[in-house]
Structure 1
Amino acid sequence: MNKTPVLTKKDINKAAIRWMGMAVNTYTYQYQQAGSIVYSLGPALRKIYDNDDEYVASLNNHFNYFNTHPWMASMVLGAVLGIEDEGGIDAKEAVQSFKIGLMGPMAGIGDSLIWVLYPTIMGSIAGYMALEGNMTGILIWLLLNIIFMFVRVKLFHLGYRSGTKLISTLGDKLNLLTESMSILGLVVAGALIPSVVKISTPLKYTSGESVTEIQSILDQIFPFMLPVLATIIAYKLIKSGKISVTILILMIVVLSMICAAFGILA
């Protein structure tokens, strides 16, 4: 049963801001982000439902399992408010199905684009500029994060206006975008290896009066072979789950000191 929407732009903004501040702060193994959703949407749902029983039923419905990338969740939760604002409590089942259907694709996009690609690029740029004594990269990164806060609010509004049409609008484009961002992230990370990972060897091979640098031979076979091999090994160790990132960093530091002391690596 359709009803007259009651939420205003201010209500949507409030829900978006509450979500940004609480997205994963109530994270649990059983319900994941459900508690944060209830906190974020609570005031808006109270305005939608005058009836206490309907309001409680809606909150309980949102206290079901949900987990996706916090930034991309803004669009999903905005759409949820649009669905409930128009359909009322009768849309309860559709709301949960809608959330479950989109949380996987949205997580794929967010993880590839925001968790991997964005910090890899900006972190490398900021780190490289910092090594040169320039803090511009860090300031740009900070400014972009502030801008993205406004973008996340806009995503809430986009979702609210789209409602269930969000699925038909995005459709198969979600899977294509997820795969494209994953590939792009790997390409960018690979391209950054030579400029970020600095490993070379000063070892030389002597045959009679001929002295050959091992590093020059490696560069002829595969440029930046040592940085690439080191990155692959580190990735394999992390992916295995047997070694934590902290332990891996300590191993790299110790190994670097030993190899530098014996003149193996530079």
Structure 2
Amino acid sequence: MSFNMNPIYNKKINKKDLQRLFWRSIPMEGSWNYERMDNLGFAWAIMPLLKKLYPNQKDFADALTRELTLYNVTPYISTFPMAIAVAMEETNSMDSSFNTNSIQDVKTALMGPLSGIGDAFFWGTLRILATGVGTSLAIKGSILGPILFFLIFNIPHYLMRYYGTFLGYGLGTNVMSKIEKSGIMDKVTEYASIVGMMVVGAMTMGMVKVNFVTKIGIGKSSQSIQSLIDGVIPGLITLGLFGLMWYLLKKKWNPMLIMLLILFVSIGAAYLGILGA
């Protein structure tokens, strides 16, 4: 299973299209939102390519809807999953039997691992290196301080973003072609779905915090409700809250209304001493 930085353009997408994707990916986080995170920036970046792949308005609308689902990834490597999604959409535009669910499954499966690698390298390593070099010169009054900070951080960033576009497209076209010929698409979709659900579950436990500070008992033997529940089934409250949100969304509740409900309940419970930090 091979791929390279210079994929063969023998379908609908060409090098100029991918270069356009690169440029449109840069402001991706300008539309970051709490409901679906990077979805608007992701969809906006690949929208011209989707229009090219789907001249029919309904097909284009369906593709855009697929790409507007929740997505969050380190912006500096965002072109890699974007280009893979484009390659899969390209295959779908030419094959009516293509399983479109696999597009979102693969995106979701890549979201966690890519973000972990991207954050560790760009935020945890490169940014610190650039800051150390830039600050050491800036405190001496040298104009090279901010310049070197900008260059050390952004040269690898833009190289990664640019070549990641072609790497992702090459990977996507080659992988999907081989998978289609081998007939194992159903298995790939199933495994990608499993990994995707694991990523969503891990994100939920990592990002959602609920702490019941109300105590039961007297004196030193007293324990908070939170510690008692965690002692039986850790994460049960978070799981219950996630289940409630899923239920309300299934009942077509407005996401903004749900967020406001969580906000007011949290403030009220904190004021009454039920919830705490």
Q: TM-score, normalised by structure 2?
A: 0.55
Please tell me the residue identity of whatever aligns with 1:67.
Answer: N
Selected match of 2:137 from 129, 138, 150: 129
Ranges in structure 2 where 5+ consecutive residues have no aligned partner: 1-9, 177-277
Please tell me the residue identity of whatever aligns with 2:88.
Answer: I
State the alpha-carbon separation in 1 of the partners of residues 52 and 163 from structure 2: 21
Please tell me whether residue 52 in structure 1 is matched to residue 57 in structure 2: yes
Please tell me whether residue 83 in structure 1 is matched to residue 56 in structure 2: no
**Is the partner of 2:76 in helix, strand or coil?**
helix
State the alpha-carbon separation in 1 of the partners of residues 76 and 125 from structure 2: 14
Structure showing greater radius of gyration is: 1
Q: 1:77 to 1:17 in 2, by over 3 A?
A: same
CA deviations over 1:183-207 (Å, ceiling 9, x no partner): xxxxxxxxxxxxxxxxxxxxxxxxx
Selected match of 1:6 from 1, 12, 15: 12
Please tell me whether residue 31 in structure 1 is matched to residue 39 in structure 2: no
1:150 positional shift: 4.0
1:95 positional shift: 0.8
1:84–1:91 Cα contact (<8 Å) kept = no
CA deviations over 1:128-166 (Å, ceiling 9, x no partner): 111223333432232344533243121111100101767
Query: Which protein has greater RCO, CA pairs closer than 8 Å, 6+ apart?
Result: 2
State the alpha-carbon separation in 2 of the partners of residues 6 and 105 from structure 1: 29
CA deviations over 1:69-127 (Å, ceiling 9, x no partner): 11122111111111111232734211100110000001101111101211111101110
Please tell me the residue identity of whatever aligns with 1:114.
Answer: F
Q: TM-score, normalised by structure 1?
A: 0.57
Name the Cα RMSD after superposition: 2.2
Q: 1:155 to 1:69 in 2, by over 3 A?
A: same
State the alpha-carbon separation in 1 of the partners of residues 105 and 124 from structure 2: 28
Please tell me the residue identity of whatever aligns with 2:104.
Answer: Q
**Is the partner of 2:73 in helix, strand or coil?**
coil
Q: 1:146 to 1:124 in 2, by over 3 A?
A: closer
**Is the partner of 1:65 in helix, strand or coil?**
coil
- Equivalent positions of 1:111-150 (< 5 A) are 111-147=119-155, 148-150=157-159
**Is the partner of 1:163 in helix, strand or coil?**
helix
1:16–1:152 Cα contact (<8 Å) kept = yes
1:122–1:137 Cα contact (<8 Å) kept = no
1:59 positional shift: 0.3
1:83–1:91 Cα contact (<8 Å) kept = no
State the alpha-carbon separation in 1 of the partners of residues 148 and 77 from structure 2: 22
Please tell me the residue identity of whatever aligns with 2:37.
Answer: Q
Please tell me whether residue 105 in structure 1 is matched to residue 113 in structure 2: yes
Q: 1:68 to 1:134 in 2, by over 3 A?
A: same
State the alpha-carbon separation in 1 of the partners of residues 173 and 15 from structure 2: 19
Q: 1:50 to 1:91 in 2, by over 3 A?
A: farther
